[in-house]
Amino acid sequence: MVSNIRSGQNNKDIKQNKFVVVVSVLVLIWIIGFASAKIIGVAFGEDLIADSLAIVQIHGPITIDSTNTLTFTAGSSSSILSNIEKAQKNKNIKAIILDINSPGGAVVASRELSKVIKDSEKPVVAWIREVGASGAYWIASSADRIVADHLSITGSIGVSASYLDYSGLLERYDISYQELTAGSRKELGNPLKDLTAQERLILQKKIDRIQEVFIQDVVENRGLNSQQVAKISTGEFYLGEEAFQLGLVDVFGGRKEALAEAQGLANLTKLDVIEYKEKRSILDFFTRTTAYYIGKGIASELGSNRVSSIAIKA
C-alpha cells in the first residue's frame, strides 16, 4: 500500500517536472526568437538598405510619453522621437517623411517634436493625410516640405480653453465647498468654484502667450508675410487647398507625392523605404474621426494635485 502511494507521488512529481521543463523550454525559445528577430532586423534589415527614405508615423493625439494609460504609446512624443532618432543615426537613410494623421496634442510634446524636426540634418517632408491640425501642424511646419490632399484638414493655429464649472451642481444638492490653501492662486482653475474676473484674466494671459509662441514658430518655419499672419491668427482650420493659398502647404498629393519630394530633396535615384510605425492604441477607433477634434489639439491641464477641468487647446 505504501509502495503504491509512493509510486503515485513519484508519477505526479515526474509530470510536474515535465510541465516545468516544457514551459521553461517554450519561454526560452520565445526569448531567443525575440532577440534573434531584433538582431536580424538590424543586421539584415534597415541597416543594409542603402540610400533609403524613412517614414515616421505621427498618428492620433500627441502625448508626452507612453505612461499615459488612455493612449498607451500611440502618438507619444517619446516614441516618435525615438523613431526619428533611429532614422537620424542610420547613415543609409537620406531623408525622413512624417506620416501625419493627428489633431494635435500636448503643448510641450508638440513643440518638442517641432524643434527636433527643425534641427534635422536630413531633409524632412511632412505628409498630412486626413488631419494635420493644431499641434500636429506645428510639427509639420518645421519640415522642409508639406504635402497634403486638397481636402486635408490643416491649420487651427489658435488657442482656446474649456472649463467645466461644477459650482452650480454643488449648490443644487446643498453641498458646500471649503477652501484651505496657502497662496491666493493655489486653487486657480478649480472646477468646484466660479472663476473670478482676476483668475479669468490670468488664464487668458497664459492662453495668449501660448498662441503667441505657436504663431511665431509657424511664421518663422514657413516664412509668412504680415497678411498671411493676420489670417492664420484666427485659429481657423483650413482645407488643404485653402492652406496652400495661405502658404501653409507646398504640394498637393499623398504618399506618392511625399516620396517624390523626399527623393528629390535627398537626390536619390532609387526609392527604398523603411517605415517606423507607432504601436496601435485602444483609442485608434476614436482618432479615425479626428475631424471632431478640429481646433482642440494642444491640451495642457492647468493646476496640480487636484482634479481640474480647464485645458488649454491651441
Q: What is the pLDDT of residues 83-126, one digit of tens each?
A: 999 999 999 999 999 999 999 988 889 999 999 999 999 999 99
118 is catalytic: no
Class of CATH domain 51-313: alpha beta
Q: Which of 52, 76, 114, 134 is catalytic?
A: 134
Residue among 169, 185, 197, 189 nearest 177 (CA): 169
Residue 14 cell numbers, joined:
515526474
C-alpha 145/C-alpha 295 separation (Å) is 23
C-alpha 314/C-alpha 311 separation (Å) is 10
Q: How confident is the model at residue 176 (pLDDT cuts 50, 70, 90)?
A: confident
277 is catalytic: no
Residue among 103, 106, 159 nearest 131 (CA): 103
Q: Which of 186, 193, 206, 231 is catalytic?
A: 186
Report the DSSP beta bridge partners of residue 99. Answer: 57, 127
Q: What is the pLDDT of residue 73?
A: 40
Answer yes or no: is pLDDT of 39 > 80: no
Report the DSSP beta bridge partners of residue 154. Answer: 132, 238
CB atoms inside a 10 Å sphere around CB 311: 17
**Mean pLDDT over each residue of the chain, to the nearest integer:** 77
Tell me which range, 6-10, 23-27, 233-237, 262-266, is most confidently predicted by mean pLDDT.
262-266
Residue 25 cell numbers, joined:
523550454
Give this prediction's pTM. 0.72
Per-residue pLDDT of 43-75, as tens digits, reads 334 555 678 999 999 999 988 865 444 444 446
Q: How confident is the model at residue 278 (pLDDT cuts 50, 70, 90)?
A: low
